[in-house]
Amino acid sequence: MGEAFRRLLQAVRLERDAFVWMDFNDRATADALILVLFTSLFQLAADLGQVATEANTLLRLATSASGINLIFEVVVQGFFFWLGFAGVLLFVVRMLYKAPAKYPLLLRVVGFAYPTLLVGIFVPSLGLPDVVSFVVGSLWFIAVVAHGVRYESDLGTARSCGSVAIALVLLTVARAILSGLF
């Protein structure tokens, strides 16, 4: 996991070496999955920490049936966002821009970009509104994924950022439609 964390730091600093490593290392897909799952759990822990002031809240959550359901739900949502966003992004890059793209590499890039959403945990401690943390985390996520798309598909910066933004909008619309069905 040490190599994965080193590559994660490179990815959030937008260093090309991280994306080359993701392209040529199949193990990076499992590392990306682990990063998505841990990020989802950290987000849950932070949300619970803001709600409750007791130190043993997470322990009680993990030992109760409703708590285990909540943990499972958060992890599954993170997992499906990871798979779904990479799929929608693949569709946008291939169909809209007619550029080459591979789903496994996009999965890895999205997985390694996912921890940037943890910025939302730290920004409120600075006294800034929640919307600032959402915007900063989202922009950083978009930047990392767009850099990966630019590496993979040889699209320019504007087109790679646009493809990520379009994919986010399409995924949000699809989730809204599907949530109305269930």
> Given this model, what pLDDT does residue 3 score?
87
**Residue 10 contacts by C-beta under 8 Å, 6 or more apart in sequence?**
17, 18, 21
In the chain, what percentage of residues exceed pLDDT 90? 55
> How far apart (Å, rounded) are the C-alpha atoms in residues 11 and 116?
10
pLDDT tens-digit map of 82-126:
999 999 999 999 999 999 999 999 999 999 999 988 887 776 667
Other C-beta atoms within 10 Å of 3: how many? Answer: 12
Segments making up each domain of the chain, as ranges: 2-181
- The 8-class DSSP code of residue 8 comes to H
Residues of the chain with pLDDT under 70: 47-65, 123-125, 181-182
Q: Looking at residue 119, what is its pLDDT?
A: 81
For 49-111, give the DSSP string: HHH---TTHHHHHHHSHHHHHHHHHHHHHHHHHHHHHHHHHHHIIIIIS-----HHHHHHHHH
Q: How much is the pLDDT for 179?
A: 81
